[in-house]
Structures are given as C-alpha cells and as structure tokens.
Amino acid sequence: MEIKVLKKLMAAQEADAEISRKFFSDMNVAAVNMMSSPGSGKTALLEKTLEALGGEIGAAVVEGDILTTLDAERLARFGIQTAQINTGPFGGDCHLEAAWVRSAAEQLNLSRVDLLFVENVGNLVCPAEFNLGVDANVVLISVTEGEDKPAKYPIMFRSCDLCVVSKIDLLPALDFDMELLEKNIRAANPGLRVMKLSAKTGEGVGEWLDWLRGMSASKKQKI
Amino acid sequence: MEIKVLKKLMAAQEADAEISRKFFSDMNVAAVNMMSSPGSGKTALLEKTLEALGGEIGAAVVEGDILTTLDAERLARFGIQTAQINTGPFGGDCHLEAAWVRSAAEQLNLSRVDLLFVENVGNLVCPAEFNLGVDANVVLISVTEGEDKPAKYPIMFRSCDLCVVSKIDLLPALDFDMELLEKNIRAANPGLRVMKLSAKTGEGVGEWLDWLRGMSASKKQKI
C-alpha cells in the first residue's frame, strides 16, 4: 500500500512537471535548475553570470530556500526579477517541486525573460528526485567537497545535464584529485558534461556563459 | 488528514528514539550523531579523532550513506568496528532514522565501546528532523560553505549540542567572516557551543577530543 501511495505521488509530480514544461515553452523561456550542497557556490555563480551577461540575455531567478531571502536579495541587486520560495512554512521542505516553481514563475513578467534560473534548496539528495519540467538540470560541486560525492550521490549526477566543478581557485590550498572526481562523475553518468570554473576569479566562466547562450538561443530571443 | 499521518509518523519516530536512548544507556555507550552538508569533513575529523584517541577510548562507528562503503572503509583502517547503513535500497533516503541506527549498532560488539559515532548522511536539512536518541548531536560546517548557513538551515543548528567549524586551515584562501558566522549561529541557537578546527593541520582538535573525553566520562569507562 505504501508503494502505491509513493507511485501515485511520483505520478502526480511527473504530471506537474509536464505542466511546467508546457508553461516554460509557452513563455518561450529556457529554465535552468541549479542544484548542489549548501555552500557550493550557486548564488556566487549566478552573481557572476548576471554581471557578465548584463542586458545581453533577459534573466530572472526563482529562488528556493527553507528560510530567508538572503540569496534573492543578493541577486536582485542586478536589477533582475526574483521570486522567492520559502519551503519553511511547508515543513521545511528540502527540495523544490514543479508546482511551486511554476507558481513562483507565474508571478514574474516573463515577456523579456529568455533564461529563468531556478536556484534549488541546498541539498545534494532530495532535489534530484523531483522533476521540475525545466530545460536543463545543473549540479554544482565545489572542489572543497571531496572527490567521492558522485559515488555517494549518484542520483543527483544521473539526473543532470551539466556538472559544474566550482571554486577551482582554491585548488592550490587543497589536496584535490581532479582526475578522480572526473572518474567518479563518469562512473555515475558517463555522458555528463563537466565544466570547471571559479566564480571568484572568473576562470572557466566563459564556457558556462557560452552554454547559457546556447540554452537561450534554443528559444526565440526576446531582446 | 495529511497532518494526522505526519503526526503519527513523528510520534513513531520519537518512540523509536526513546528505545534507542535506552539501548545506548543499557550498553553504557555515549552516542554522538554527526551531521553536515556533503563534504564538510565529517569522515576526515573522525579519522583524525580515531588516530588521536588510539586505545584511550573504545570507539565504533555507524556509517550512514545513500550508497557506497567508502567512508566506513576509511575508518575501518583504524581497527575499529564499523556498521554501514546504505539508505539507497530504501529509496535513497536522505537521513538516518533511530531504528536503523539501533539495528546497525546491535550488530557491533559494544562491550569495549565507550563512544559510538554515528556519521549521518551528508545533508544539512533532513537529518535534523529525526531524533536518533543519541547523547549528543553535532553539526559540522566548513568555512568554505559561507557564513549564511545557520540562517538558512536553522533547524539543524537548533537541534544540535555542538557546532564544529571545520577546515579553518583554508581561511587564508577565503574571504570568510568568522564573526558573521558566529553571529548567525547565535541567532539560530544562542546557547550552541562552537569549536573551530582543522582536521588537516590538527589546529583546534584538542578541544574536540576533550569534549569527547567528557562525553565518554559521563558513562562508566570500559577500558
């Protein structure tokens, strides 16, 4: 009986994801879901991204946190629209769900938005299990987190289209084996594209921006 | 009706935690539950701890991971007993529950064990919501994760007896505001004890070992 309940729940999630997919498509928006452990640098990368893209691509952010609007405030400084989801009132949920993200996105004026970033709750486990109906799922992993994370959290790495290895400016201070990380990533998801960057120094950010330009170009441009 | 189900679930969890508490007490074991984001350094600190304590205190570890026995293998090198819980077969659960930890602990010979470490699944959200019936809950936060985490994950910081700020050897490479972190910790949990250490250099580890000696001394010594 428990399994039936779970199946029903997941079927409802998938149906919701399909509605979101249609919504993003109708709005002509490329939606990018960013997931990682707490503190891997999602917000820092978004700050760097918004600064670099400037008016080149219309961007907006749906921000997911259990509590606080700290990240949304950091990003609103760039003059973009942000919608905050706080899961705290719903039991402190550890992930975002398709319906919540869509409700938040519906509050934004998307007429000039090409790229909609979804910054998920900081958690390397649960967010991977919820299909948000987005155009791309991205996992960030910082080099301070160790090489073993793809082996320990394979569902996350399997559910993503891109893996961003962040904070590479810290490599000189760490005993970090990049080859081992890449081997573990390939074992979890052989086809997963990997980019290495530092939002602090800007190293490698160009490749990320080009990838975003490609995501945006797959939709009809609005600016 | 959903709320009723949730209440019933949480009541069952609390009842299970009580059974675990009695089990640890009967076994004369001090159980320490260690929680953090993935990659904050729980296993590295346990390695340093087991190395430093040597035969001084009898230790064992219940290791929680979604998948792999990587961490248990790292710790078994110190000649201690380890019991691995992989939550993967149960849907990839993002936390440990009292009954699972107890079942794992029951597989160990605790006759010479004074300190039982529980290394929880790497996750700053869900593990905080499950009472394991242990003697102390510890949250690790590494200085690479940013100062805002106690504000964003207050339930974790509220549910703990000790906060370990890890990887302080990396401070020179970071723009990290320790005072801001401590302010955020106090805002989440004013009485929370904070220790700063580096498992790599050993700085600050003495205070942690003394705290563990105190935990152990609160039980009748077996060695």
Looking at residue B35, which CATH number applies to its domain? 3.40.50.300
B126/A155 touch (CB, cutoff 8 Å), yes or no: no
C-alpha pair distances (Å), A22 with each of A12, A98, A215, B162, B175: 16, 12, 17, 47, 42
A179: left (phi over 0), alpha (psi -120 to 50) or beta: alpha
Tell me the pLDDT tens digit for each residue of B153-187.
999 999 999 999 999 999 999 999 999 999 999 99
Q: Which of A82, A85, A104 is nearest to A94 (CA)?
A: A85
Residue B206 lies in a domain: yes
Assess contact for A145 and A170: CB atoms under 8 A. no
pTM: 0.89
User: How many domains, in total, are found in chain B?
Assistant: 1
Q: Can you tell me the distance from the alpha carbon of A195 to that of A165, in angstroms, rounded to the nearest whole number?
A: 6
Residue B110 lies in a domain: yes
From the number of C-beta atoms within 10 Å of its C-beta (0-12, 13-18, 19+), residue B9 rates as: exposed
Residue B7 lies in a domain: yes
Q: Can you tell me the distance from the alpha carbon of A205 to that of A195, in angstroms, rounded to the nearest whole number?
A: 9
pLDDT of A5 over the 90 cut: no
The mean pLDDT value for B60-89 works out to 91
Residue A222 lies in a domain: no
User: What is the domain range of residue A192?
Assistant: 2-217
Instruction: Tell me A172's DSSP state.
Output: G
Question: What is the overall mean pLDDT for chain B?
Answer: 93
C-alpha pair distances (Å), A35 with each of A73, A127, B40, B212: 19, 7, 17, 35
Length of chain B measured in residues: 223
Residue B166 pairs in a beta bridge with B142
Residue B223 lies in a domain: no
Q: Residue B39: list chain A partners with CB under 8 A.
A: 37, 142, 144-146, 149
Residue A162 lies in a domain: yes
Residue A65 lies in a domain: yes
pLDDT range class, residue B1, cuts 50, 70, 90: very low
Nearest to A124 among B122, B152, B172 (CB): B122
Higher pLDDT, B194 or B223: B194
A94/B123 touch (CB, cutoff 8 Å), yes or no: yes
pLDDT of B110 over the 50 cut: yes
pLDDT of B4 over the 70 cut: no
Tell me the pLDDT tens digit for each residue of B33-70.
999 999 999 999 999 999 999 889 999 999 999 889 99
Assess contact for A50 and A59: CB atoms under 8 A. yes
Residue B15 lies in a domain: yes
Residue of B5, B63, B90, B144 to mutate, testing the A interface (most A Cβ within 10 Å of its Cβ): B144
Q: Can you tell me the distance from the alpha carbon of B166 to that of B35, in angstroms, rounded to the nearest whole number?
A: 12
Tell me the pLDDT tens digit for each residue of B12-39.
889 999 999 999 999 999 999 999 999 9
Q: Residue B167: list chain A partners with CB under 8 A.
A: 144
